[in-house]
Structure 1
Amino acid sequence: MKTAIVGGGVGGLITALLLTKQGIKVEIFEKESRLGGRLAFVERNGYRIDEGPTIVLLPEMLTSILEEAGISSDQYELIQCDPLYSLNYPDGTVYTKYASLSRQLEEIKRVFPGEEEHFIQFMEDMKTRFSIGKRAFLEKDFVHKRDFWTLENLKNLWKLKAYQTVHSMTASHFNDSRLQEAYSLQTLYVGGNPYSSPAMYSLIPYSEHAHGIYYLKGGYASLVEVLERELKRHNVPIHLNHKVDKLVLHGNRAQGIIANGKKRLFHSVILNGDFPKTASVIDKQEKPYIPSSGCVLFYFGLNRRYDQGNIHQFFMSPDFHHHMKQVFKSKEIPDAPSFYAFNPSKIDPTLAPEGKSVLYVLVPVPSGTHIDWSKQEAFKEKMLQEIEERAFPGIKEATEWMEIRTPNEAERFGLYQGGSFGIAPELRQSGVFRPQVKPYSYDNVFAVGASVHPGGGIPIVMQGAKLLADYIAREKHAIMKGGTIHEVHRESIPTV
């Protein structure tokens, strides 16, 4: 059996390794000159900083899937971030999150007295929900819709309070609006609106405390080098600068691909581009989805270091709710946005020349193509001033180089409507409603990536790759037994 993987993002790379372990021959076709997709570096003059994801969540899931793919933990180094990060409010309040429960309670008592018991209750509540959500949704595919609509899952959805939003969930636990923001902004990690994303995404802030936040030494994108090395060890063919224009389809099956004008035959095809954009390769009209939020990203190479503050910091808007409305509802350039700063040189001296540093600032903005960001110099200048005044004094003078990227660049790269995180984590785009690992009626066309179940974020995309590899393994088993994948899949789903 020979499989083409269209796209060399982390989902495609992990899938390739997992399928190789099953004895399936795979070939990777990547339209860019490098692998990794959103896992990439901005590099210049001895400086290197992550272009996309920065916060390593769910470390146990990440390391477990890497181990299953053949990557041992001695091939990379995870550094725990403790403190996790700090939140800086316009009124001068600074709230810091810690790995230790006792230290966190001390911090809450200092900053938000009277909320200590509310935090304990929040963590206990989320612990139960995390266990349910991981088992019932993260670890299962829903290719067959009825596997989702079981009595057990309906009970689970009720326990997870999927009918609530993330913000309404946190508001039911905390009184202070600043604390509510501190435990709901995490939907932005996957491009979601805290005021409309379903409450199951409240599991992200819980996981930060329960499982920790980590930094991958050398930058998150250095993981791509590790994966590529393992693929080459298995002699997996990797075709860079190969754009797949079409699948070769016959009846309800794909027979291969057309890449760079050349027809190549395969037994199956896996699509690893941003899912809504993959419709073009099978001559389908692009289905409308709600895109995730966009980002304006500032990358700096500095002639000095900023050793104060934490590696991760959030600088909150005077009106966070209004900022979210502008990003997700009115789709306009925000007046006074919150922003996130990533200062990895604080703990990793390998990213810049000695005595110098790199810095990354992310501003949530609307996705879509209606804003011409090349004409928004006033907004960029305003944000630079805000970064200097609130976060890094003297940064303008210390800047040796700066690069700015916007949703326009993201759209050109192939991200749906310039959204940075796949399709948005709305209720109607989560779980069974999200594209699945077998998204079309074609028997041998599959998908993996941030817009495919279970969703965005590097460990979750890797979990999606595992779901896909497991599904294909069951399919192989079914064929060998002379049955069908539908029959074998049903056998693997517990009934109520």
Structure 2
Amino acid sequence: MKVGIVGGGIGGLTTALLLAKQGFQIDIFEKESRLGGRLAFVEHNGYRIDEGPTIVLLPKMLTTILEEAGISSNQYELIQCDPLYKIHFADGTTYTKRATEEEQFCEIERSFPGESENYKRFMVDMKKRFEVGEKAFLQKSFVNKWDFWTWQNVKFLKQLNANQSMHKFVSRYFNDERLASAYALQSLYIGGNPYSSPAIYSLIPYSEHAHGIFYVKGGYASLVPVLEKALKKAGVQIHLNAPVDELIIEENEARGLKVRGEINEFDSVILNGDFPSMAKLSKVKEKKYVPSSSCLLFYFGLNKRYAHSNIHQYFMGQDFNEHMDQVFKSKTVPTDPAIYTFYPSLIDDTLAPEGKGVLYALVPVPSGHDIDWDKESAFMDQIIDTLEQKGFPGLREAIEWKQIRTPKDACDFGLYEGGSFGIAPELFQSGVFRPQLQPYEYKNVYAVGASIHPGGGVPIVMQGAKLLADSLVQASHQSFEKLS
């Protein structure tokens, strides 16, 4: 069976490898000059840092799918982060998430006396729910919507208070508002508002403690050349600088892809571009989605190293709720935002010249077109000042190279409304309500990526690729049986 894939993001690459192992003939058409999509590096004069994703969650899911795709663990290196990360609150309180249970209990009692029992209760409850949720949501697709509405799933949604926001749900466990924020901010990993994203996503902070946070040596994007080498070895045809003009549809079925005026025929087509933008290729009516939040991203090359820093840190503003309102409701430039920093040079000396380091900072900001980012240099300076004051003394003097990526850059790259994480993880854009792997009425058109169930985050997108590959393999077997 011949399959054409539109887009060479992590979802498309993983699907291609899994299908190639099963004997499918695969062509990937990528509009950029490289593969990887949001998995990419920003580089300058010996400095290199991840452009997008940085936090490796669900390591077992990642390694298992890579193994199934033919990539063994000796082809890349995962390093466990210990501590997981440190949170700095505006009042001077700090809270560090640790890799072991015993250390975590001690840390909670140090920062939030009396809350350790609440943490234990949270982890016990979430363990049960994660086990059910993984099977019910991550390991199944819902092309047939009725497959979702089982008695077990309805019971699970009720247990998890799916109609409650993530922040409200975790506030049932933690008395201190700061601690509640520490266990709700993770919805931002997938571009969701902690104060409106459904409580099902509270499984993310549980997973951080239960499964750990990891770092890919050399950067997350270093997985891309490993995947590319495996694809070429498997005979997958890769076409770079090859934007697809049109999906050729005849009699409710895809016949192929039009690229540079030439029609390439395929038995099936997989869409791996940012899904909402794929409608224009597919001759379907464009549907309006709620986009995820966007990011203001800072990349720094530094002439020094910060030996006493942390790999991952959060610097919270005075009012996290207000920051989220500005991002998701009023769509205005945040006045006192929370900032996430990634400092891989603490454990990886391959990213910068000797004795130097790289730093990445992310500020959640509104998606859409309401803000002219070319006029926000004062806000950008404010962020650098905050970083220097709160975590990286002498930062301005240490900067040898700086690059800033705005929501406008995300729009130009093709991300829906400039949202950095696909469509938002709202209640009615999650689970059965999210676009599925067979999103249209066309019987041989499929989709994979952050906006497709089961959702965003590199391992979750890879899980979506596995669901898609399994579905296509099963369909091809059924077709063969009918012919025989």
TM-score (norm 2): 0.99
Whichever residue aligns with residue 51 of structure 1, its letter is E
The answer to whether structure 1 residue 154 and structure 2 residue 158 are counterparts is no
Whichever residue aligns with residue 310 of structure 1, its letter is N
**What is the alpha-carbon distance in structure 1 between the residues aligned to residue 312 and residue 153 of structure 2?**
36
**What is the alpha-carbon distance in structure 2 between the residues aligned to residue 433 and residue 477 of structure 1?**
28
**What is the alpha-carbon distance in structure 2 between the residues aligned to residue 400 and residue 388 of structure 1?**
15
- SS, match of residue 332 in structure 2: coil
Whichever residue aligns with residue 459 of structure 2, its letter is P
Whichever residue aligns with residue 115 of structure 1, its letter is E
Partner of 1:488: none
The answer to whether structure 1 residue 263 and structure 2 residue 263 are counterparts is yes
Partner of 1:443: 443
- Checking the alignment, whether the CA contact within 8 Å between 1:368 and 1:417 is kept in structure 2 is yes
- SS, match of residue 257 in structure 1: strand
Residues 126-181 of structure 1: per-residue CA shift (max 9 Å, x gap): 00110011000110000001101122221121122212111011100000001000
**What is the alpha-carbon distance in structure 2 between the residues aligned to residue 387 and residue 222 of structure 1?**
27
Q: CA deviation at 1:306?
A: 1.0
Correspondence 1:174-213 to 2 at 5 A: 174-213=174-213
Q: CA deviation at 1:282?
A: 1.4
- SS, match of residue 401 in structure 1: strand
Residues 206-235 of structure 1: per-residue CA shift (max 9 Å, x gap): 000000000000000000011001001112
The answer to whether structure 1 residue 73 and structure 2 residue 73 are counterparts is yes
- Checking the alignment, whether the CA contact within 8 Å between 1:133 and 1:160 is kept in structure 2 is no
**What is the alpha-carbon distance in structure 1 between the residues aligned to residue 153 and residue 481 of structure 2?**
30
- Checking the alignment, whether the CA contact within 8 Å between 1:291 and 1:416 is kept in structure 2 is yes
Partner of 2:348: 348
Q: CA deviation at 1:422?
A: 0.5
Correspondence 1:83-122 to 2 at 5 A: 83-122=83-122
Partner of 1:427: 427
Whichever residue aligns with residue 82 of structure 1, its letter is D
Whichever residue aligns with residue 106 of structure 2, its letter is E
**What is the alpha-carbon distance in structure 1 between the residues aligned to residue 97 and residue 382 of structure 2?**
28
Whichever residue aligns with residue 109 of structure 1, its letter is E
- SS, match of residue 350 in structure 2: helix
Whichever residue aligns with residue 419 of structure 1, its letter is G
Whichever residue aligns with residue 426 of structure 2, its letter is E
Question: Which runs of 5 or more residues in structure 2 are unaligned?
Answer: none
- Checking the alignment, whether the CA contact within 8 Å between 2:20 and 2:235 is kept in structure 1 is no
Residues 27-64 of structure 1: per-residue CA shift (max 9 Å, x gap): 00000000000000001101100000000000000000
Indicate the percent of aligned positions where both proteins have the same amino acid: 64
Partner of 1:293: 293
Q: CA deviation at 1:22?
A: 1.2
Residues 409-458 of structure 1: per-residue CA shift (max 9 Å, x gap): 00110000000000000000000100000000001000000000000000
- SS, match of residue 455 in structure 1: coil
- Checking the alignment, whether the CA contact within 8 Å between 2:21 and 2:234 is kept in structure 1 is no
The answer to whether structure 1 residue 400 and structure 2 residue 406 are counterparts is no
Query: What count of residue pairs does the alignment treat as equivalent?
Result: 483
Residues 379-423 of structure 1: per-residue CA shift (max 9 Å, x gap): 111111111111211111111110000110001100000000000
Q: CA deviation at 1:101?
A: 0.4
- SS, match of residue 221 in structure 1: helix
Superposition misfits of 4+ residues, deviation over 4 angstroms: none
Partner of 1:315: 315
**What is the alpha-carbon distance in structure 2 between the residues aligned to residue 471 and residue 155 of structure 1?**
27
Whichever residue aligns with residue 97 of structure 2, its letter is K
Partner of 2:412: 412
Partner of 1:16: 16
- SS, match of residue 90 in structure 2: coil
Partner of 1:486: none
Whichever residue aligns with residue 447 of structure 1, its letter is A
TM-score (norm 1): 0.96
- SS, match of residue 95 in structure 1: strand
Cα RMSD (Å) of the superposition?
0.9
**What is the alpha-carbon distance in structure 2 between the residues aligned to residue 369 and residue 113 of structure 1?**
44
- SS, match of residue 49 in structure 2: strand
Q: CA deviation at 1:15?
A: 0.1
